């Protein structure tokens, strides 16, 4: 079954992963800018990273027939120094017209600190100024519910961001409902041991339906499974959900959300 994995960090993955994903039916993916497993020592490090995301990675993906899109930002893990973070934010506008850039992301909170919030607000404003979609990272573990609420409040307080143009990622059982209730899209990140497993994601779909929701594998620099999305499809089909249900989760919904960016071209 063809599918889109809307959240992967392919700069940390091998060409074998691209090949296996293509074999499993992946036709497009989107790669948010994030922590790369280490703190970068200068804004120039981000400049090079943004070039990698907009110039090099799309070519690597194309070799396997996968369309590569990206989101740009400074992530909350490296946003504790506001002067440094603002230097990085100043680099972003020059990349926003690159053909594979869909918006600002993954922005959000990690430890829910004051400095993280300042930089989150600056990047919400950047997205508003340039009419960009937003992809949101929510904190993990005990900070998740509080952080998710703080992020939604910050977006609402800005006043010029339409919730339907924001996807809030890494939702879990206790955060999916508040996210959907406030009009945002919700993403579930499937991990082998932490966050959502394919089974938990299937349970969440059975509780809340599949409108304004997608699933992703996060495939990154740590323990993660680039084939988590097709594994969740198998779980949904095994439970008797029709193929059209699965197709909506991993193709129809991503196409609908991402098509709000003029740079997204739905796969034929
Ligand atoms: Zn991520």
pLDDT exceeding 70 applies to what percent of the chain? 99
CA 35 to ligand 1 center in whole angstroms: 8
CA 63 to ligand 1 center in whole angstroms: 23
pLDDT of 73 reads 98
The per-residue pLDDT for range 194-253, each reduced to its tens digit, is 668 899 999 999 999 999 999 999 888 888 999 999 999 999 999 999 999 999 999 999
The per-residue pLDDT for range 13-61, each reduced to its tens digit, is 999 999 999 999 999 999 999 998 889 999 999 999 999 999 999 999 9
* CB count in 10 Å sphere of residue 14: 10
Cα-Cα-Cα-Cα dihedral sign, residues 186, 187, 193, 194:
negative
CA 220 to ligand 1 center in whole angstroms: 7
CA 146 to ligand 1 center in whole angstroms: 19
CA 234 to ligand 1 center in whole angstroms: 23
Domain annotation for the chain: domains and CATH numbers: 3-258 (3.20.20.140)
For 179, the enclosing helix (H) or strand (E) is: helix 176-181
CA 31 to ligand 1 center in whole angstroms: 8
Q: Average pLDDT, whole number, for the chain?
A: 95
CA 215 to ligand 1 center in whole angstroms: 12
- What is the band of 191 on the pLDDT scale with cuts at 50, 70, 90? confident
CA 239 to ligand 1 center in whole angstroms: 28
List all residues 6 or more positions away from 85 whose beta carbon is below 8 Å from its beta carbon. Answer: 74, 78, 79, 115, 119, 122
Q: Looking up tokens 């600002």, which residue turns up?
A: 104
The per-residue pLDDT for range 130-144, each reduced to its tens digit, is 999 999 999 987 789
Query: What is this structure's pTM?
Result: 0.97
Written as six digits, the tokens of 132 are 């960009």
CA 109 to ligand 1 center in whole angstroms: 12
Q: Which residues surround ligand 1, an ion (CB under 5 A)?
A: 34
């Amino acid at each position: 079954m063809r599918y889109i994995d809307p959240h992967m960090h392919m700069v940390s993955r091998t060409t074998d992963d691209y090949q296996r994903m293509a074999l499993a039916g992946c036709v497009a993916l989107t790669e948010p800018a994030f922590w790369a497993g280490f703190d970068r020592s200068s804004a120039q490090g981000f400049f090079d990273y943004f070039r990698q995301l907009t110039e090099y990675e799309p070519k690597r993906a194309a070799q396997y027939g996968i369309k590569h899109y990206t989101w740009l930002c400074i992530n909350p893990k490296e946003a504790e120094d506001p002067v440094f973070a603002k230097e990085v934010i100043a680099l972003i506008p020059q990349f926003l017209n690159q053909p594979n850039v869909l918006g600002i992301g993954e922005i959000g909170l990690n430890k829910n600190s004051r400095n993280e919030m300042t930089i989150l607000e600056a990047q919400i404003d950047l997205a508003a100024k340039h009419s960009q979609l937003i992809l949101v990272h929510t904190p993990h573990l005990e900070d998740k519910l509080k952080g998710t609420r703080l992020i939604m409040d910050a977006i609402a307080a800005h006043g010029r961001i339409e919730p339907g143009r924001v996807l809030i990622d890494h939702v879990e059982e206790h955060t999916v409902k508040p996210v959907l209730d406030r009009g945002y899209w919700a993403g579930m990140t499937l991990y082998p041991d932490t966050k959502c497993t394919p089974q938990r994601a299937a349970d969440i779909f059975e509780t809340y339906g599949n409108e304004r929701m997608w699933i992703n594998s996060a495939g990154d620099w740590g323990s993660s499974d680039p084939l988590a999305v097709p594994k969740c499809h198998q779980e949904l089909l095994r439970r008797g959900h029709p193929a059209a249900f699965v197709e909506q989760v991993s193709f129809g919904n991503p196409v609908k959300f991402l098509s709000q960016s003029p740079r997204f071209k739905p796969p034929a």
